[in-house]
């Protein structure tokens, strides 16, 4: 038997399998621009303006041309980038066989030592920094209110991260627990006169109870089927809030919800209020700053409890369930209790956030708890990196604070016209950002994490070894 000859190839003989074919890229970019033109005609080409009882269509073909040109350029850049990356991967690494492999902490684990204190310090000093920059309490109201909104979504993202990121259970109805917490405080405070500090734990307990109610029917479901059932649960809760008018007042909502007090001191101008007790001049911003630090404390408690539970047996059971449910059962782990605890604890923090939402707004209605809210919270978890607490916080800042920044981009009107409103395109930018994340960062902004259990020394975990894609 004759063995086939052994041939060797050098690095010079291995050429890149693909090069930047400019004519092909130009043709594909032109086709993409034409598709964008067809899609933009019913959306961007005309704008409806109303003058009394008459409705007029204002053409905006200049905006359509700019949009198609941007799409053409981005598609061309994508072809160039993909060709460059393919050529780079085709060439072998000269250090591949000679480099030593070290299980040392990654760059993210080094940076996180400084990033966590930095973010915490920035969050604690944010009202003071805004006060110094804006030059007054009343002038800083918008930014403090934006900080409250971002921290609310950070807390919701950390709560959903328990279910999706740690336990691997896809939940599209998380806003239902948010609604349960909000309506629990609204009903208990307006009907029985209970204070916020009593209603807060009750709202969390009721939301956890409904989390277990949801968990029981979906114990045997996984993947897409689980997502459909949780989506249906969220819609059922919203429809119940609309139609049970005797309890929830239907679509009109519940108003005149009592405000939170500083441990019994109301934020009023009279005697016995917060300002007079501490000898301060009354200002309505005192309540806003109190709410900011209240939601900051609630978010930090959520993070602390999550990180502590992650190191306990129940947290390791969640991660085992996420990686492989069959292997999890073979190890003797009770998957029923594991799923129920994940749903219940995640729902509890959603209930806490809903209670805070009700006391901040002073009014709740079913329209505040639609599917879009669940989609935004889930997008925060996926974009930040499932299982990454820091990543969820960064994603909440980007997805919630970013659209608010569009309101301040008035200089774009000089480019796109006087009637251009950047805020109208926030959902379009949101979708484009998520598509870009799935293409270039499919594992999220932070695709690395520290191990839950450390033996002797801290080592990095390869992203290819875990299902969630973190290292």
Span 207-238, pLDDT tens digits = 999 988 888 887 777 777 888 888 898 899 99
**193 pLDDT above the threshold of 90:** no
Separation of alpha carbons 58 and 39, rounded Å: 18
- Which residues lie closer than 8 Å to 12 by C-beta, 6 or more apart? none
Local confidence band at 303 (pLDDT 50, 70, 90 cut-offs) = very high
Residues 83-133: pLDDT tens digits?
Answer: 877 777 766 655 444 444 444 555 455 555 666 787 888 888 888 888 888
Bridge partners, 54 (sequence order)? 51
Highest mean pLDDT range out of 1-5, 82-86, 341-345, 442-446?
341-345
**Stretch 119-148: mean pLDDT, rounded?**
86
Local confidence band at 406 (pLDDT 50, 70, 90 cut-offs) = confident
**Stretch 359-387: mean pLDDT, rounded?**
88
Local confidence band at 284 (pLDDT 50, 70, 90 cut-offs) = confident
Predicted confidence at residue 17, as pLDDT, reads: 42
Local confidence band at 279 (pLDDT 50, 70, 90 cut-offs) = confident
Separation of alpha carbons 437 and 113, rounded Å: 25
Predicted confidence at residue 13, as pLDDT, reads: 42
Predicted confidence at residue 156, as pLDDT, reads: 94
Q: What is the mean pLDDT of the chain?
A: 81
Separation of alpha carbons 171 and 226, rounded Å: 7
**353 pLDDT above the threshold of 90:** yes
Predicted confidence at residue 208, as pLDDT, reads: 93
Closest CA to 347 of 148, 149, 161: 161
Local confidence band at 470 (pLDDT 50, 70, 90 cut-offs) = very low
Highest mean pLDDT range out of 170-174, 184-188, 329-333?
184-188
**Stretch 334-344: mean pLDDT, rounded?**
88
Residues 56-73: pLDDT tens digits?
Answer: 788 888 888 888 899 898
Bridge partners, 58 (sequence order)? 47
Predicted confidence at residue 218, as pLDDT, reads: 77
**Stretch 248-260: mean pLDDT, rounded?**
88
Structure tokens at 374: 């669940």
Structure tokens at 113: 């030592």
Predicted confidence at residue 111, as pLDDT, reads: 55
**165 pLDDT above the threshold of 60:** yes
Q: Is 307 exposed, middle or buried (0-12, 13-18, 19+ CB in 10 A)?
A: middle
Separation of alpha carbons 36 and 432, rounded Å: 13
Separation of alpha carbons 179 and 200, rounded Å: 13
pTM: 0.77
Predicted confidence at residue 456, as pLDDT, reads: 58
**289 pLDDT above the threshold of 70:** yes
- CA distances (Å), 177 to each of 150, 156, 182, 346, 415, in order? 18, 10, 9, 9, 43
Residues 33-54: pLDDT tens digits?
Answer: 899 888 888 878 887 777 777 7
Place of tokens 């030593």: 100
């Amino acid at each position: 038997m004759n063995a086939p000859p052994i041939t060797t190839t050098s690095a010079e003989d291995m050429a890149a399998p693909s090069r930047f074919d400019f004519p092909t890229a130009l043709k594909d970019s032109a086709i993409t621009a034409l598709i964008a033109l067809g899609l933009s005609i019913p959306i961007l080409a005309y704008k409806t303006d109303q003058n009394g009882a008459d409705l007029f269509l204002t053409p905006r073909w200049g905006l359509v041309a700019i949009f198609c040109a941007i799409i053409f350029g981005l598609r061309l850049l994508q072809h160039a980038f993909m060709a460059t990356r393919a050529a780079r991967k085709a060439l072998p690494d000269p250090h591949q066989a000679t480099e030593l492999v070290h299980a040392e902490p990654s760059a993210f684990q080094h940076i996180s030592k400084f990033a966590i204190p930095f973010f915490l310090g920035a969050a604690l000093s944010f009202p003071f920094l805004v006060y110094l920059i804006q030059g007054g309490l009343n002038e800083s109201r918008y930014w403090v209110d934006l900080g409250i909104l971002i921290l609310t979504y950070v807390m919701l993202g950390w709560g959903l991260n328990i279910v999706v990121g740690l336990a691997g259970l896809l939940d599209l109805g998380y806003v239902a627990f948010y609604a349960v917490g909000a309506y629990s405080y609204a009903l208990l405070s307006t009907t029985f006169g209970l204070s916020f500090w009593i209603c807060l734990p009750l709202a969390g307990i009721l939301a956890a109870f409904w989390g277990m109610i949801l968990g029981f029917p979906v114990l045997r479901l996984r993947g897409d089927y689980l997502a459909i059932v949780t989506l249906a649960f969220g819609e059922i809760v919203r429809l119940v809030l609309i139609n049970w008018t005797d309890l929830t007042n239907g679509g009109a909502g519940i108003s005149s919800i009592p405000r939170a007090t500083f441990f019994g001191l109301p934020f009023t101008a009279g005697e016995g209020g917060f300002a007079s007790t501490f000898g301060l001049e009354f200002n309505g911003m005192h309540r806003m700053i109190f709410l900011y630090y209240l939601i900051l404390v609630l978010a930090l408690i959520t993070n602390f409890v999550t990180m502590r539970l992650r190191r306990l047996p129940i947290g390791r059971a969640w991660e085992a369930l996420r990686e492989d449910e069959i292997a999890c059962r073979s190890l003797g782990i009770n998957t029923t209790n594991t799923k129920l605890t994940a749903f219940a604890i995640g729902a509890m923090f959603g209930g806490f956030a809903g209670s805070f939402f009700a006391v901040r707004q002073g009014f709740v209605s079913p329209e505040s708890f639609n599917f879009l809210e669940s989609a935004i919270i889930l997008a925060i978890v996926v974009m930040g990196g499932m299982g990454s607490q820091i990543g969820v916080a960064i994603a909440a800042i980007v997805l919630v604070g970013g659209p608010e920044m569009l309101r301040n981009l008035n200089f774009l009107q000089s480019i796109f016209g006087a009637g251009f409103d950047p805020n109208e395109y926030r959902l379009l930018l949101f979708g484009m950002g998520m598509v870009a994340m799935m293409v270039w960062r499919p594992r999220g902004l932070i695709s690395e994490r520290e191990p839950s259990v450390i033996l002797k020394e801290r080592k990095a975990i390869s992203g290819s070894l875990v299902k969630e894609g973190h290292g």
